[in-house]
Amino acid sequence: MSDNYRSMWTELGLDLESHDALLGVLGNAYQEIYLSQKNRPEGMAYFDFVMSEVHGLRIKELMDEKAAGRKIVGSYCVFVPEELVLAANATLVGLCSGADFAMEEVEKLLPRNTCALIKSSFGFKLGKVCPYLESADMIVGENTCDGKKKAYESLGQLVDNLYVMDLPQVKSENGRALLQNEYFRFKTAMEALTGVKITAESLKAAIGTVNAKRAALHRLAALRKADPAPISGLDALLSNQVFFYDNPARFTESVNKICDELENRIAEKKGAFPAGTPRILVSGCPQAVPNWKLPFIVETSGAVIVGEESCVGERGTRNLTDASGQTVEEMMAAIVDRYYQVDCAIFTPNPDRLAHIEEMATAYKADGVIHYGLQFCQPYLMEAMPVEKALEEKNIPCLRIDTDYSMEDAGQLKTRVEAFIEQIKG
Q: Provide the binding-site residues for a second copy, judged by CB under 8 A.
A: 108-111, 113-114, 143, 145-147, 149-154, 157, 164, 166-167, 169-170, 172, 174-175, 177-178, 181, 345-346, 348-350, 375-376, 378-379, 381-386, 402
Specify which residues 226 forms β-bridges with.
Answer: none
**Exposed/middle/buried for residue 391 (C-beta within 10 Å: 0-12, 13-18, 19+):** buried
- Output the smallest distance, CB 165 to a second copy, in A: 10
- Output the smallest distance, CB 279 to a second copy, in A: 27
- Output the smallest distance, CB 327 to a second copy, in A: 24
Query: Cα 188–190–195 angle (5° rounding)?
Result: 95
Would you say how long the chain is, in residues? 426
Nearer to a second copy, 154 or 362 (CB): 154
- Output the smallest distance, CB 113 to a second copy, in A: 6
Q: Which H helix or E strand runs over 283?
A: strand 279-284
Q: Which of 231, 205, 227 is nearest to 217 (CA)?
A: 231
Nearer to a second copy, 32 or 146 (CB): 146
- Output the smallest distance, CB 248 to a second copy, in A: 31
Residues 6+ apart with CB under 8 A from 83: 203, 206, 207, 210, 321, 331, 335
Q: In what order do the strands lie in the sheet with 304-309?
A: 304-309, 279-284, 368-374, 398-403
- Output the smallest distance, CB 235 to a second copy, in A: 32
CA distance 246 to 364: 27
- For residues 322 and 334, the answer to whether their CB atoms sit within 8 Å is yes
- Output the smallest distance, CB 154 to a second copy, in A: 7
CA distance 303 to 425: 10
Three-state SS sequence of 380-401: HHHHHHHHHHHHHHCCCCEEEE
Residues 6+ apart with CB under 8 A from 225: 306, 363, 364, 365
Nearer to a second copy, 126 or 167 (CB): 167
Nearer to a second copy, 59 or 345 (CB): 345
- Output the smallest distance, CB 106 to a second copy, in A: 11
- Output the smallest distance, CB 302 to a second copy, in A: 29
Residues 6+ apart with CB under 8 A from 154: 109, 110, 122
Q: Which of 183, 117, 119, 193 is nearest to 154 (CA)?
A: 119
Nearer to a second copy, 28 or 169 (CB): 169
Nearer to a second copy, 66 or 149 (CB): 149
Nearer to a second copy, 10 or 181 (CB): 181
Nearer to a second copy, 334 or 345 (CB): 345
- Output the smallest distance, CB 285 to a second copy, in A: 13
- For residues 374 and 403, the answer to whether their CB atoms sit within 8 Å is yes
Nearer to a second copy, 348 or 412 (CB): 348
Q: Which of 295, 314, 312, 313 is nearest to 304 (CA)?
A: 295
Nearer to a second copy, 195 or 386 (CB): 386
Residues 6+ apart with CB under 8 A from 170: 347, 348
